[in-house]
Amino acid sequence: DKTVSLRKDLSEMHEWITQAEEEYLERDFEYKTPDELQKAVEELKRAKEEALQKEVKVKLITDSVKNFIAKAPPAAHEALKKELDVLITSYQQLCSRLNGKWKTLEVWYLVSLVLRALLTGRRWRALLYYHTGLWSLERLMRHPEDNRNQIRELAQTLTDGGILDELINEKLEKFNTRWEELQQEAVRRQKSLEQSIQSAQETDKTLRLIQESLAVIDKQLTAYIADRVDAAQVPQEAQ
């Protein structure tokens, strides 16, 4: 039976999504050293790539369900359509959360390298890690609220583990200040872009009006020429 087969595919995919959420999103990570953070970054990157590879299977299931729905009576496919919608939403959320957590951990890994370099007196290396961390942080600005929550949760984990002392907290505050500056800059750029778009639209509207006026004048001049009207008789604006 086609319905049974499709439901089996949907169920298996749901099960995989649930396992991935438990393994990578709900697990309470504990990071004691930069090396452990690096391993976590690599692990989440693999998980993110694995989830993206499942996109082909999700598409195949989607196509199969839609083909079945197109031929089956409404009573037979309503529940199946709801299951498919839930699957697609869950899969997209999983990919988004994995990607967000991976980027967040990547930033914190770079932060840990900055702090370790500062504590060992290697300021040039700390500066390099710091700017690399800011570049990664700017990528997180696309979903500021989600990533802010992830950073807050990870910071709490590091604090509870006894990793963040007063010196590190001071550096962390400076990093958070930079975060706020980036966010404010993003807002300013967005407003500037909106103003530029509005100005361009107004300019385009004015140009269209000018073109319409020129077209009218052109018709009038053509008529004058066709009628061999004396130039002195033509209105001044047309002259």
Domain assignment present for 25: yes
In a domain, residue 170? The reply is no
pLDDT at 117: 57
| Residues 128 and 227 reside in one and the same domain | no
Residues 126 and 205 occupy one common structural domain: no
- Give 47-77 pLDDT, tens digit per residue: 989 998 899 999 999 999 888 888 877 776 7
Residue 98 lies in a domain: yes
Average pLDDT over residues 157-182: 62
Residues 160 and 205 in one domain: no
Q: What is the pLDDT of residue 130?
A: 47
Distance CA 105, CA 101 (A): 6
80 lies in some domain: yes
Residues 159 and 203 in one domain: no
The predicted model scores a pTM of 0.50
* 208 in the same domain as 150: no
Residue 190 counted as domain residue: no
Average pLDDT over the chain, rounded to an integer = 72
Average pLDDT over residues 121-139: 49
Structural domain boundaries, residue 209: 199-233
- Name the more confident of 81 and 228: 81
d(CA 146, CA 148) in angstroms, rounded, equals 6
Residue 150 binned pLDDT confidence (cut-offs 50, 70, 90): low
Q: Which of 9-13, 21-25, 162-166 has the highest mean pLDDT?
A: 9-13
133 and 84 together in one domain: yes
My answer on whether 160 and 209 are in the same domain is no
Where among 140, 164, 188 does a domain terminate?
164
Give whole-number Cα distances, 141 to 40, 154, 180, 214, in Å. Answer: 21, 17, 10, 47
Mean pLDDT of 6-16: 90
Which of 9-18, 90-99, 109-118, 139-148 is predicted least confidently? 139-148
Same domain assignment for residues 6 and 92: yes
Last residue of a domain, one of 164, 191, 213: 164
**For residue 60, what pLDDT is reported?**
92
Cα separation, 209 vs 121, whole angstroms: 66
In a domain, 67, yes or no: yes
User: What's the total number of domains in the chain?
Assistant: 2
Instruction: Please compute the mean of the pLDDT values over residues 126-154 and round it to a whole number.
Output: 51
- One-letter amino acid at 37 equals L
What angle is formed at CA 164 by the lines to CA 41 and CA 127, rounded to 5 degrees? 65
3-state class of 236 per DSSP? coil
Q: Would residue 175 count as lying in a domain? A: no
**Which has more pLDDT, 119 or 37?**
37
Residues 85 and 41 reside in one and the same domain: yes
pLDDT at 1 over 90: no
* pLDDT score recorded for residue 114: 60
In this structure, the answer to whether residues 206 and 160 fall within a common structural domain is no
pLDDT the model gives residue 15: 93
In order, the DSSP letters of 131-193 are HHHHHHHHHGGGSHHHHHHHHHHHHHHHHHTT---HHHHHHHHHHHHHHHHHHHHHHHHHHHH
Domain final position from 146, 164, 182: 164
User: Would you state the pLDDT for residue 234?
Assistant: 55
Q: For the segment 24-38, what is each residue's pLDDT rounded down to a tens digit?
A: 877 655 555 677 777
For residue 43, what pLDDT is reported?
Answer: 86
Q: Do 109 and 224 sit in the same domain of this protein?
A: no
Give domain status of residue 169, yes or no.
Answer: no
Same domain as 33, residue 96: yes
Q: Which of 90-99, 146-155, 196-205, 228-237 is most confident? A: 90-99
Residue 124 has a pLDDT of: 45
CATH number of the domain bearing residue 142: 1.20.58.60
